[in-house]
Structure 1
Amino acid sequence: MNAKLDRRKKYTRMMLKESVMTLLKEKQISSITVKELCELADINRSTFYSHYADPFDLLTKIEEEILTDMRQTLGSYNFSEEEEALQMTEKLLEYVADNRDVCQILLSEHGDPQFQQKVMKITEEFIMKHWRSIHKADQKISEYMSLYVISGSLHVLKEWLDNGMDKSPQEMAELINHFTNYGLSSPL
């Protein structure tokens, strides 16, 4: 009996997740109603409220799942050399590619801007920490460099998703790593 209930709960949550992702393609989360979600997921309102407080709660849970997965993916590697930082960037891009639809929507204009900030923080935790240790600089300058690199990389990532991932994760990692380490003055 419990397995049947668990399966039903998983199915309901999956349908609500798909429904909110579908609606986020068209509008902001603040414009999405519980009624719309329930109609699209083909569930009743009481079922929705047994899982989530509101559409924002649903979106937050989806974002938390993605961020936890990203941390686990990146945390499973112990990179310390430049080549390893390249591999970590590639692993992050592979993760994004594997979760393309959700990541593209969450990073879009209809996604939560706080999600982008959280992705930037994870990137700094895992990738920029090593980069800053190599390029010794004053703390404030280091923060500015980190913000510059991560912001640019995030916009490159969004463009890559919008272009249908026209390059492999490895090619994109090499490109991002090259810009991070050598800037625009060094040819590719």
Structure 2
Amino acid sequence: MKTEPTEPKLDRRIVKTREAINKAFLELFAERELEQITINDIADRANVNRGTVYLHYADKYDLLDRCIEEHLSQLITFCGDHDPERKPGAMADELEPVFIYLQEHFKFFAAMLSGERTRIFREHLMQFISVNARQALERRAEPLEIDAELNAQFVASAFVGIMEWWIRGDMPHPPRYMAEQLRRMFEKNDVRH
């Protein structure tokens, strides 16, 4: 009897170690600039040796990039799976899961959007949003009078700016309110998909 090959499960110890390293890194990142953080600092805070950190990440820049990629990937998954019964085109319903995810991962986003660190994260986030905005705009039935790339960049800049304001202001409004307000702003400026 022939069995199908299965994908090996990730060892729980490896998962726990990575989680400890990521948590330690984000805590340090919230306290000081990236240039001031060493692998020893991360290892000490995570209660592992520095060789263990290097076993999982090439350096602190690789760790930062992978943290950002992981959160953006989780954001895509979370938003796509959040409400499978929502009506297509209901922008506030599409935006609310984004704000819920931001709220649930506030510490990460607050750390990413503070001080000099903003540039690196902002570039990744702008790329993520503009690609998704461009795809949504391409699905529109009526032809656009505005260049699709310019429109996507406008949407991305507006969203990232609002998100930064919300996170830096310690989330002064609930996710549903933010989604509804952003929907109204986009509709007022004829940015719909």
Q: Which range, TM-score by smaller chain?
A: 0.7 to 0.9
- Measured in 2, the distance between the counterparts of 1:89 and 1:120 equals 16
Q: TM-score, normalised by structure 1?
A: 0.80
Letter in 2 for 1:168: P
The partner residue of 2:40 within 29, 35, 47 is 35
Q: What does the per-residue CA deviation read over 1:8-58, in whole Å, with 9 as the maximum and x for residues that have no partner?
A: 322222221111111211333233211111122222111111111111111
Letter in 1 for 2:173: K
Aligned residues with identical type, % of pairs = 23
In the alignment, structure 1 segments of 5+ residues that lack a partner are 184-188
Give the 5 Å matches for 1:1-188: 6-76=11-81, 77=84, 81-83=88-90, 85-111=91-117, 113-127=119-133, 129-131=135-137, 133=140, 136-138=143-145, 141-183=147-189
Q: Which moved more, 1:116-125 or 1:9-18?
A: 116-125
Runs of 4+ aligned residues of structure 1 deviating over 4 Å after TM superposition are: 77-81
Letter in 1 for 2:100: E
Letter in 2 for 1:89: L
Q: TM-score, normalised by structure 2?
A: 0.78
- Measured in 2, the distance between the counterparts of 1:61 and 1:99 equals 16
Task: Describe the SS at the equivalent of 2:43.
Answer: helix
Letter in 1 for 2:153: L
Q: Which moved more, 1:123-132 or 1:171-180?
A: 123-132
In the alignment, structure 2 segments of 5+ residues that lack a partner are 1-8
The number of residue pairs the alignment matches comes to 179
CA contact (8 A) 2:133 2:155 kept: no
Q: What's the offset of the Cα at 1:170?
A: 0.6
Write 1 or 2 for the structure with the bigger share of helix. Answer: 1
Partner residue of 2:6?
none
Q: What does the per-residue CA deviation read over 1:54-82, in whole Å, with 9 as the maximum and x for residues that have no partner?
A: 11111122112111111212333587744
Q: What's the offset of the Cα at 1:104?
A: 1.9
CA contact (8 A) 1:34 1:55 kept: yes
CA contact (8 A) 1:89 1:127 kept: no
Letter in 1 for 2:166: W
Task: Describe the SS at the equivalent of 1:25.
Answer: helix
